């Protein structure tokens, strides 16, 4: 335990944890997006998926792990950014004085994007996980009608447009964060950098469109 705490106190340890938790969260968004695609198959398929997920015995442990990943990723990213700012402060001041542009616009806002995603997550859990509990019958059992709640919410323009905006931010965050995680973990050999960047584009586009498809389907057709 002491070894882990002293590892976390070192910048390299913090970077490794941010990289690992980042890749873990990428896996979560991919699985969550695939699950949400079942909305396109109708209420039975989506409610059945949600029911099976809630019936899984290790779910509480997984949810706790997910929570630790989110918190660890966000807190350590903030810490690293603050350290980075402090270390670079004098250099960027010199550069600015010489008229050299500071950081690129998107990179500069990666932390604000992360914080916005965190606010989104709190509101998201509030409206879905802890939202209205409708009931329906599935194979003779009473189960939560999560499909009805999702449809009810995404019929409102505020939800569909708001989520679309957040998904653009998620796209940008994944596009920057995915290759950065590989780099931090020492997995991005110069020979593979362009492949990792292509994979980042592919992954970010798939995840974003995968989330956008069911919500716009609901908004337009249901």
Q: Which of 79, 80, 124, 197 binds ligand HEM (CB under 6 A)?
A: 124
Residue 57 binding ligand HEM, by CB under 6 A: no
Phi and psi based region of residue 136 (left: phi greater than 0; alpha: psi -120 to 50; beta: remaining): beta
Q: How many residues bind ligand HEM (CB under 6 A)?
A: 17
Give the C-alpha separation, 159 to 212, whole Å. 12
Which residue's Cβ lies closest to ligand HEM? 128
Minimum CB separation from ligand HEM for residue 215, in Å? 5
Q: Which residue, 176, 165, 155, is CA-closest to 212?
A: 165
User: Which residue, 7 or 56, has its beta carbon nearer to ligand HEM?
Assistant: 56
User: Is 25 exposed, middle or buried, given 0-12, 13-18 or 19+ CB atoms closer than 10 A?
Assistant: buried
Q: Which residue spans within the chain are E strands per DSSP?
A: 135-138, 141-144
Give the C-alpha separation, 11 to 100, whole Å. 27
Using CB under 6 A as the binding rule, the residues of this chain from 35 to 54 that contact ligand HEM are: 36, 50
Minimum CB separation from ligand HEM for residue 175, in Å? 14
Using CB under 6 A as the binding rule, the residues of this chain from 11 to 30 that contact ligand HEM are: 29
Q: Which residue, 48, 30, 38, is CA-closest to 202?
A: 30
Minimum CB separation from ligand HEM for residue 1, in Å? 27
User: Which residue, 95 or 124, has its beta carbon nearer to ligand HEM?
Assistant: 124
Minimum CB separation from ligand HEM for residue 194, in Å? 27
Minimum CB separation from ligand HEM for residue 52, in Å? 10
Using CB under 6 A as the binding rule, the residues of this chain from 83 to 122 that contact ligand HEM are: 117, 121
Give the C-alpha separation, 141 to 163, whole Å. 32
Q: Which residue, 174, 178, 177, is CA-closest to 207?
A: 174
170, 171, 175, 178 alpha-carbon torsion, rounded to 10°: 50
Using CB under 6 A as the binding rule, the residues of this chain from 132 to 161 that contact ligand HEM are: 146, 150
Using CB under 6 A as the binding rule, the residues of this chain from 155 to 194 that contact ligand HEM are: 163, 170
Q: Which of 63, 96, 135, 137 binds ligand HEM (CB under 6 A)?
A: 63
Give the C-alpha separation, 156 to 151, whole Å. 9
Contacting residues toward ligand HEM, per CB under 6 A: 29, 32, 36, 50, 63, 117, 121, 124-125, 128-129, 146, 150, 163, 170, 211, 215
């Amino acid at each position: 335990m002491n070894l882990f705490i002293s590892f976390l106190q070192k910048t390299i340890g913090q970077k490794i944890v941010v990289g690992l938790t980042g890749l873990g969260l990428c896996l979560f968004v991919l699985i969550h997006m695939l699950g949400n695609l079942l909305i396109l198959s109708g209420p039975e398929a989506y409610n059945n998926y949600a029911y099976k997920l809630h019936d899984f015995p290790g779910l509480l442990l997984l949810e706790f792990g997910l929570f630790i990943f989110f918190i660890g990723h966000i807190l350590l990213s903030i810490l690293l950014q603050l350290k980075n700012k402090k270390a670079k402060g004098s250099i960027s001041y010199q550069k600015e004085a010489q008229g050299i542009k500071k950081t690129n616009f998107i990179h500069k806002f990666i932390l604000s994007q992360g914080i916005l995603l965190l606010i989104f997550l709190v509101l998201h859990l509030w409206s879905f996980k802890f939202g209205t509990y409708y009931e329906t019958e599935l194979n003779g059992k009473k189960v939560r009608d999560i499909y009805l709640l999702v449809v009810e919410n995404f019929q409102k323009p505020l939800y569909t447009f708001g989520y679309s905006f957040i998904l653009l931010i998620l796209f940008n965050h994944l596009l920057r964060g995915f290759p950065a995680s590989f780099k931090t973990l020492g997995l991005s050999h110069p020979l593979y950098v362009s492949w990792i960047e292509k994979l980042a584009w592919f992954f970010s586009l798939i995840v974003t469109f995968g989330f956008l498809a069911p919500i716009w389907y609901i908004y337009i057709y249901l």
